[in-house]
Amino acid sequence: MDHSSTTRTTWRRTALNLGAMTAATAIIATLALPGTGIAPPANAESNASAEAIAQLQATETQQIEQPALSALAAASVDASRGDFTATSAAEVRRVQLAAAAAARAAAWSGPRVSDFLANPPYPNFSLDQVVQVALQYQGVPYLFGGSTPAGFDCSGYVQYVYAQFGIGLPHSVRGQAAIGTPIAREDAQPGDVIIFNNMSHSGFYMGGGQILDAPVPGQSIRVRPLWTDAYYIVRFGI
């Protein structure tokens, strides 16, 4: 390879590495803006509920920021090594997509979990109504750390729906499993929550071997067949 070709390659590597780091930094900067968190409402019924809402804010912010920090670290390693490959180029694209998704989530101006907990639109709990509310969000894209209709992850979706009935759930599968009441499969009803045994996933039980859930990045909320038998079912609101 001649000197000019080597120089062009070096500049290309540098530019792509800088692009990865800039995109990752943008995610963190966007999520650090004052308007991106959940503010405790003025009409919270007690200090306890206000504290719970503040904890929701901290948890959701951390869950969205973590992928950005990981991506930034990975991009920095590539830059320091100077060995940019096709895999690194894919990483740039992944970071850019994550930044765009995080920006959409940060721009969400509709109701959040905290708003519903302070003033539930469905104060009378019903599993049938849970199903109807959950079905409204079919087509919403998956977003890691997401807990609004701008994008949901699995536990954020369950959390958002149940908040509309005044039921506060953690934004984590393990946390939801810990406070739900386990029920036998033969007693399960649509609207109950499926918990995977390895704590990797949660979603709404729909009956007939079906789950309504936020699947994986690149997919959207929908009803689909359950693909494993390694799960159990919990019920909230009892």
177 and 124 co-located in one domain: yes
79 and 145 co-located in one domain: no
21 to each of 59, 69, 72, 78, how far by Cα in Å?
24, 10, 5, 10
Per residue in 148-180, pLDDT tens? Answer: 999 999 999 999 999 999 999 999 999 999 999
140 and 207 co-located in one domain: yes
75 and 157 co-located in one domain: no
96 and 135 co-located in one domain: no
According to the model, what pLDDT value does residue 70 have?
Answer: 44
Q: Pick out the chain residues at pLDDT < 70.
A: 1-87, 94, 97-98
106, 125, 147 - which closes a domain: 106
According to the model, what pLDDT value does residue 35 have?
Answer: 35
119 and 169 co-located in one domain: yes
Which residue stretches of the chain are H helix? 3-31, 47-81, 86-106, 113-118, 127-135, 154-163, 173-179
According to the model, what pLDDT value does residue 2 have?
Answer: 55
69 and 30 co-located in one domain: yes
According to the model, what pLDDT value does residue 219 have?
Answer: 93
According to the model, what pLDDT value does residue 106 have?
Answer: 83
pTM for the model: 0.65
Domain span at residue 173 reads 113-235
Give the number of residues written for the chain. Answer: 238
Instruction: Give the DSSP H/E element, type plus range, for residue 211.
Output: strand 210-213
According to the model, what pLDDT value does residue 48 have?
Answer: 42
According to the model, what pLDDT value does residue 51 have?
Answer: 52
Number of domains in the chain: 2
Instruction: Give yes or no for a contact between 139 and 148, defined as CB atoms under 8 angstroms apart.
Output: no
According to the model, what pLDDT value does residue 91 have?
Answer: 76
According to the model, what pLDDT value does residue 92 have?
Answer: 78
